[in-house]
Amino acid sequence: MDSSKGEGVGDLEKDEKSNNREGDGSSGKAKALGLQGKDDLGSISEKNMLFRADMIDFKSWDVQLEKHLSRVWSREREACTRKEEWEFDLCKLDIRYLVAQGAYGTVYRGSYNGQDVAVKILDWGEDGMATVAETAALRAAFRQEVAVWHKLDHPNVTKFLGASMGTSNLKIPSNSTSSDDQNSLPSRACCVIVEYLPGGTLKNFLIRNRRRKLAYKIVIQLALDLSRGLSYLHSKKIVHRDVKTENMLLDVGRNLKIADFGVARVEAQNPRDMTGETGTPGYMAPEVLDGKPYNRKCDVYSFGICLWEIYCCDMPYPNLSFADISSAVVWQNLRPEIPRCCPSSLANIMRKCWDANPEKRLEMDEVVRLLEAIDTSKGGGMIPDDQTPGCFCFAPARGP
């Protein structure tokens, strides 16, 4: 019996030494749990660690947890307060009155840091049709696009001043008679501010000159401004996708600047990634109307239509519906009729821009060079209505 006891004692001593070695590897864990001493460990193995609850210092747990949560919350607050370089301070923005309302947002005139600005409010969910996921996707795309817009710097592109992903602190004047009344905007709405151009839209300028037309020199100047702006955008891989005279603004010196980037986007490397009917009837390229993949050449087509409109001071297809335009442009190669008094150098640019085959259309930098080569010293503008009994430019040709 004594020998057996001796053997048992020897086994216990061996187990204790083994446990001590294992305990050394687990001492860090014990400290992390707030145990008060080495003896608190009890019997510990690598697979099982047993602790007496009454020996754990829960107060130290609370301290460690508080420190950890404090670090997490600090990082979250920093992420929330960190602003993108294009974000502006809503408190410095003063919205004065409504300017226009369109499919992609509402435009107001205001001031920011003492500068006259145009303020566009975009709320993609206001029609009740967009799902939460769709609205979130649009906002994410908007954030990516804004990161590109704010870096644009060209005399023929409206200066982008800033944007905000939320409008919770923004107040706008209401339509009521009381000047104190203000409307709040949905927090999901996005806000964009750009330089304000007092000359209005190119479309309104052309309407005002519909009867007397424009001097050829002015036609080429406006066309050059537009082509240079588009060429710059394309060099930055940006496709405007809604080029029309209504989206071009004029400053006090009648210099044209491209505006309204509501549907603009960075050109996809794979043209098949860009599909869908985006744009305005009458200016949309056949491939866009037909729902086919497209690229920057859709802007070139739209420019050709704008060039015709600038020269004629008229509207393309004024008597056709959207359905009629879509069908005729795609299947019957419908284009605006070029007046016979239009110089061939300008008429050729129109035709090359609105070719049915996108690959045959000019690049915008080519358009710039062709327009710069045109001689305007001898005139060539549309014949004004008030100088003749009537303009016969569109009259059918006589003779065989």
Flag whether 62 is in a domain: no
What confidence score (pLDDT) does residue 266 get?
Answer: 56
Same domain, 132 and 161: yes
Same domain, 175 and 213: no
C-alpha to C-alpha distance for 147 and 279, rounded to whole angstroms: 22
Same domain, 109 and 205: no
Burial bucket for residue 202 (CB in 10 Å: 0-12, 13-18, 19+)? buried
What confidence score (pLDDT) does residue 167 get?
Answer: 62
Same domain, 257 and 293: yes
Same domain, 348 and 367: yes
For the chain, how many structural domains are there in total?
2
Instruction: For residue 229, give the CATH number of its domain.
Output: 1.10.510.10
What confidence score (pLDDT) does residue 80 get?
Answer: 52
Each residue's pLDDT expressed in tens, for the chain with a length of 400 residues:
454 444 444 554 555 454 455 445 555 555 555 555 545 445 555 556 666 666 777 777 777 887 787 777 766 555 555 567 788 777 888 888 888 776 667 889 999 988 999 988 876 655 555 677 777 777 777 777 787 788 899 999 999 888 887 765 666 766 544 444 455 555 567 888 899 999 999 999 999 999 999 999 999 999 999 999 999 999 999 898 889 999 999 999 999 999 876 555 555 444 443 445 556 789 999 999 998 998 999 999 999 999 999 999 999 998 898 899 999 999 999 999 999 999 999 999 999 999 999 999 999 999 999 999 999 988 888 876 556 444 555 544 333 3
Same domain, 213 and 191: no
Neighbour count for residue 149 (Cβ, 10 Å): 20
Residue range(s) defining the domain that contains residue 301: 197-395
Domain boundary among 163, 196, 229: 196
Instruction: List the catalytic residues.
Output: 242
Burial 263-301 (b: 16+ CB within 10 A, else e): bbbebeeebeebeeebbbbbbbbbbbbeeeebbbbbbbb
Same domain, 106 and 132: yes
Same domain, 180 and 299: no
CA-based Rg of the chain, rounded to a whole angstrom? 35
Same domain, 158 and 239: no
What confidence score (pLDDT) does residue 325 get?
Answer: 92
